[in-house]
Amino acid sequence: MSGYKRNSLTSALCYRDPKAALDWLEKAYGFEPAMILTDKDGNVAHSEMRYGECLIMVGSEWSEDHKSPASIGGKNTQTVHVHIESGIDAHCERARKAGAVIVQEPETQFYGDRTYRAKDPEGHIWTFGQTVQELSPEEWDKAGGLTTTLYRP
């Protein structure tokens, strides 16, 4: 795929209706289509969307082990975290207006990021965060009562 940038790690989400998910993710969260593969009937076979440097794959349910939360009682085994550069509160309002269920309102965390959590129409949980205060590990440990151990290659 000459000229197409691939990330080293990419989340892939299953949807009952991936076409609707593509439209909604663009409207609510500001993702942009990067690639959409369709079959002869126009169904989404595979797709990728970008948000800045982030890449996600959006596809259909394709086996008993690959389901949308909407098909398994709303359960999530992982969530997607997206770091944005600015405008976290406005981003939350955009998502809310598009129909996202805000499960955690924007709140500044002890480590200096302001975050919110939302569920999309099929129940995937998304966390969006923006750094609003640069803190050292010692500062966030003191504020959060935790101990940070940093590992470097």
User: pLDDT tens for residues 11-26?
Assistant: 999 999 999 999 999 9
Q: Which CATH number fits domain 11-61+79-143: 3.10.180.10, 3.30.70.20, 3.40.50.620, 3.40.50.410?
A: 3.10.180.10
CA distance 139 to 147: 10
CA 9-98-52 angle, to 5 degrees, is 30
- The pTM of this model reads 0.90
CB count within 10 Å of CB 112 equals 17
Mean pLDDT over each residue of the chain, to the nearest integer? 93
With cut-offs at 50, 70 and 90, classify the pLDDT of residue 152.
Answer: confident
3-state secondary structure of 28: helix
**Using CA atoms in the order 22, 20, 89, 127, what is the torsion angle rounded to 10 degrees?**
-70
Residue-wise pLDDT for 33-88, tens only, equals: 999 999 999 999 899 999 998 899 999 998 999 999 999 999 998 999 999 999 99
In the prediction, which pLDDT does 1 show?
A: 53
If pLDDT is split at 50, 70 and 90, which confidence band does 8 have?
confident
Question: Where are the chain's structural domains?
Answer: 11-61+79-143
Q: Report how far residue 119's alpha carbon sits from residue 57's, in angstroms, rounded to the nearest whole number.
A: 17
Between 5 and 28, the more confident residue is 28
Q: How would you class 40 by CB atoms within 10 Å of its CB: exposed for 0-12, middle for 13-18, buried for 19 or more?
A: exposed
